[in-house]
Amino acid sequence: MTRAHATPPGTGPAGATVTVSVWHNVTRDGAGRPTGYFGFTPGDLMVKVFTYDTQVRGRHAEDIAENAFAAFNDFPRDSEGQNLARQYRARRLRSVSRGDVITVGEAALIVERAGFSHMRSGFTPVRVHDHGTHPL
């Protein structure tokens, strides 16, 4: 099980970059139904499906995660987001949804109904294929 990530990075110096990763929740209940849509639970099974580097440009982790969420739900906010959205869709990945995780540097942010929460406990990384989920 991975450990929870440290506190999010604050604003960085000009030109600083941070690595962003998208993790899909592939946890299922005893009947085989996906549970991630009901939210993240510590220990959930997560698949890393996409990663990229971006410039910090004075943004906080939540702002960078919000841009990633928008791009990977087909609402990119800028040219960087448009390019990332094309790459994401080229991998035939599903939209980022509640219960998924976006890591920004050392910060792990759980996708909630509205916005994000900081992960306080770990998850279980796995490499499985699921509908719209393809591991790196």
Question: What pLDDT is stored for residue 75 in this prediction?
Answer: 92
Question: What pLDDT is stored for residue 32 in this prediction?
Answer: 86
pLDDT beneath 70: ranges in the chain: 1-14
Question: Inter-axis angle of helices 79-90 and 61-71, to 10 degrees?
Answer: 60
Question: What pLDDT is stored for residue 95 in this prediction?
Answer: 95
Question: What pLDDT is stored for residue 12 in this prediction?
Answer: 58
Question: What pLDDT is stored for residue 28 in this prediction?
Answer: 92
